[in-house]
A = this chain, B = another copy of it.
Amino acid sequence: MLTLARARPKVSLTFSFPKSKFSRPTTQPRYNNFSRTFATETPQPKPRNRLLQRAVVLVKYTGYIAASTVVGVGVVTAAIFVHDAFTYTERHVDRVPINPLALHPERGGMKNLPIARVLVDDEEDEEMKKLVDKPKLVIVGGGWGAMGVLQTLRPGDYHVIVISADTFTTFTPLLPSAAVGTVQVRSLIEPLRKIIARLRGHFVAGKAVDISMHERLVEVEATGMDGKSEHFFIPYDKLIIAVGSVSSTHGVPGLDHCFQLKTVADAQAIRRRVMDNFEAASLPTTSPEERKRLLSFVVCGGGPTGVETAAEIYDFCQEDIFNYFPKICREEVSIHVIQSREHILNTYSEAISKYAEDKFKRDGVNLITNARVAGVTENSVLYTARGPDGQMEQHTIPTNFTLWSTGIAMNPFAKRVTDLLPNQVHKKAIEVDAHLRVKGAPLGSIYAVGDCATIETSLVSHFMEFVEEADKNRDGKIDFEEWEFMVKQITNKIPMAEDHVNKAREIFQMYDTNGDNVLSLNELAKLLEDLGSKITSLPATAQVASQQGKYIGKKFNKLARHQERASRNPEATTDQAQSNNVLDESVIGPFRYFHLGSLAYIGNAAVFDLGKYSFMGGLAAMYAWRSVYWNEQVSTRTRALLMIDWIVRGIWGRDLSRL
């Protein structure tokens, strides 16, 4: 037998710190036990040689780590490649079991369209077959809200169908980075089919265009054969609307000349335009005026998206354009941010706004605050702002790139849903109750989450309900005890009111105008109305959508458990418990939002608003910003890709290719 036995070359690491109050008076190694070998094999060196010796040791150690790294990386790579080799399988399927109904769906519904009651993959294996009889849970949309649901749901409870025109989910907060190539768009997306696979769910690549709540059918428009549009119905037992929002025009003319930044396609289009502008600016035929306009980048909206995009464009010019384009291109770049309020990032703390504004000022980014965009043309942005004499003045910025990143409006499907329901009066989103049930829809059948939904804040609309339950003595007046009960009712109904009713006594006294220690119904109505107007609706952010999605996922898990128990003890289910509505409220309380903080990248620096604390700064904050986003990734794959993108960008800079 051939035996190779090698002892590891001995290496020891010695840290030394300058003398400080923590230093110990002894030069004896502290861990005698560990240093035995060191002590016996290497004689204690003379003091003058110590530095040298340590240097040698450090070099050895570094070399060793490096060698191990190379070996380790090599081993890992080899392992992946071996694994890789075995993904090439010879497996194939013959005669997949298919229900004939899946191949020739019956027609029906109000519009007599094909109804997909059975899908082609419903019976392809045992696991799928088990799901056929489960409640049909249809999720419309593939963004943060849908992701929250999909990641929280337990497999096996529902027959899940996701309807989305995009076949992937997008990590939207990094779109500004993708717009200039700091990260690749493909690192921000994860195929929905892969996410749904955990639930053995189904995916339909199409967009929901209509709904029949009575028949529980969603109408889907999809691109079929040869690009022709196909319409069909997907039946549901439970429907979750998570379609997001579109940009609001605020009535500004010419917004079709603007870019938006809501999808990866937008990010790609922006990247192409930015590169186009720099290439055109470098042409020999471009006049100095044209060059100025080509290199003028205007961002309308001083919220996080606008600010981050401006910062990323600045970074791109500073780090990449500078090195590879004619220097004149870098010199002529101007970046403008037009904000309607007094400060950018106005939803953040004041200190943060100030910090971001100072940073932009240092970078030469042109901040235009208190200004209203009056219109956008093909080659300029018009805005009005108060001049030094207090008069409103109109200004024009010539530009070849305008980003519109302010305000949201309803997606057509969300609009259609509100149009069908009589009590939906909100203009910008579908109104839902505190349990995220769409108001007015058959109870327990339709939910809405994320940007497309807004939780009702009107207390006065529940006036009669509150009084009926609280007015125990039926005297048509509310005394303080009854009011305290009502406060509980209110926070239960609308948790967002919590902050405003916690000083119950003060409020009671304030609205008890005649001082008779009871609130008349008039006084109560006034109180509820004022209170309702104080509640601000939740912002249209990824964080809200995600939490709402997870809430719905949890609720549905509990409902499934409840149904299971009920089916085991049929006698225990009362009529009341079977009512979807009550069930829904009994398994889980209303949705409560926990704000985890806001953050924004502002170019070699980042800001965090954590409610009571703000944190802002340069590099450290930037890396903190990156790690927060890194941790929020939907999959390990995108996490790895993002890390790779950041490393690649660190070594080689951004890709300048116009693709």
Using a CB–CB cutoff of 8 Å, the interface residues on chain A facing chain B are 1-8, 10-19, 22-24, 27-31, 34-38, 64-66, 68-73, 75-77, 80-81, 83-85, 87-89, 91-96, 98, 102-105, 114, 116, 119-121, 124, 166-168, 184-186, 189-191, 193-194, 197, 203-206, 222-226, 230, 232, 234, 264-265, 275-276, 279-280, 282-288, 290, 293-294, 315, 318-319, 322-328, 330-331, 364, 378-379, 400, 603-604, 619, 622-623, 635-637, 640-641, 643-644, 646-653, 655-659
A116 contacts B224, C-beta separation under 8 Å: no
CA distance A7 to B7 in the complex (A): 14
Looking across the interface, which residue of chain B has its beta carbon closest to that of A331?
B93
A326 contacts B121, C-beta separation under 8 Å: yes
CA distance A103 to B284 in the complex (A): 7
Checking B7, B77, B191, B603 against A657 with a beta-carbon cut-off of 8 angstroms, the contacting residue is: B191
CB distance from A141 to the nearest CB of B (A): 16
Residues of B contacting A191 with CB < 8 Å? 324, 655-657
Checking B2, B102, B265 against A17 with a beta-carbon cut-off of 8 angstroms, the contacting residue is: B2
B285 contacts A319, C-beta separation under 8 Å: no
B88 contacts A290, C-beta separation under 8 Å: no
Looking across the interface, which residue of chain B has its beta carbon closest to that of A101?
B284
Interface CB pairs A-B, < 8 A, 7? A1-B17, A3-B15, A7-B38, A65-B71, A65-B75, A124-B328, A204-B282
CB distance from A191 to the nearest CB of B (A): 4
CA distance A414 to B293 in the complex (A): 35
B5 contacts A29, C-beta separation under 8 Å: yes
CA distance A451 to B637 in the complex (A): 39
B264 contacts A186, C-beta separation under 8 Å: no
B193 contacts A656, C-beta separation under 8 Å: yes
Tell me what chain A mostly uses at the interface: helix, strand, loop, or mixed: mixed
User: Given A1-B23, A31-B4, A653–B64 Cβ distance below 8 Å?
Assistant: no
B285 contacts A224, C-beta separation under 8 Å: yes
B24 contacts A6, C-beta separation under 8 Å: no
Kindly name the residue among A4, A324, A657 whose own CB sees the greatest number of chain B CB atoms within 10 A. Answer: A657
Residues of B contacting A619 with CB < 8 Å? 85
B77 contacts A72, C-beta separation under 8 Å: no
CB distance from A192 to the nearest CB of B (A): 8
A167 contacts B275, C-beta separation under 8 Å: yes
Top 8 nearest A-B pairs (CB, nearest first) are A69-B72, A68-B68, A84-B650, A116-B284, A121-B326, A7-B37, A88-B604, A168-B657
A637 contacts B648, C-beta separation under 8 Å: yes
User: Given A38-B5, A65-B75, A225–B280 Cβ distance below 8 Å?
Assistant: yes
CA distance A364 to B448 in the complex (A): 47
Checking B65, B92, B635, B646 against A84 with a beta-carbon cut-off of 8 angstroms, the contacting residue is: B646
CB distance from A401 to the nearest CB of B (A): 12
Residues of B contacting A225 with CB < 8 Å? 280, 286, 290, 293-294, 400
CB distance from A258 to the nearest CB of B (A): 15
Residues of B contacting A280 with CB < 8 Å? 205, 222-225
CB distance from A114 to the nearest CB of B (A): 5
CB distance from A280 to the nearest CB of B (A): 5
CA distance A641 to B105 in the complex (A): 46
Looking across the interface, which residue of chain B has its beta carbon closest to that of A102?
B284
CA distance A94 to B330 in the complex (A): 10
B318 contacts A283, C-beta separation under 8 Å: no
Looking across the interface, which residue of chain B has its beta carbon closest to that of A605?
B88
Residues of B contacting A5 with CB < 8 Å? 12-14, 29-31, 34-35, 38
Checking B16, B287, B400 against A1 with a beta-carbon cut-off of 8 angstroms, the contacting residue is: B16
User: Given A38-B5, A656-B167, A226–B65 Cβ distance below 8 Å?
Assistant: no
CB distance from A487 to the nearest CB of B (A): 49
User: Given A3-B30, A8-B11, A37-B7, A283–B656 Cβ distance below 8 Å?
Assistant: no
User: Given A88-B315, A283-B230, A285-B230, A69–B73 Cβ distance below 8 Å?
Assistant: yes
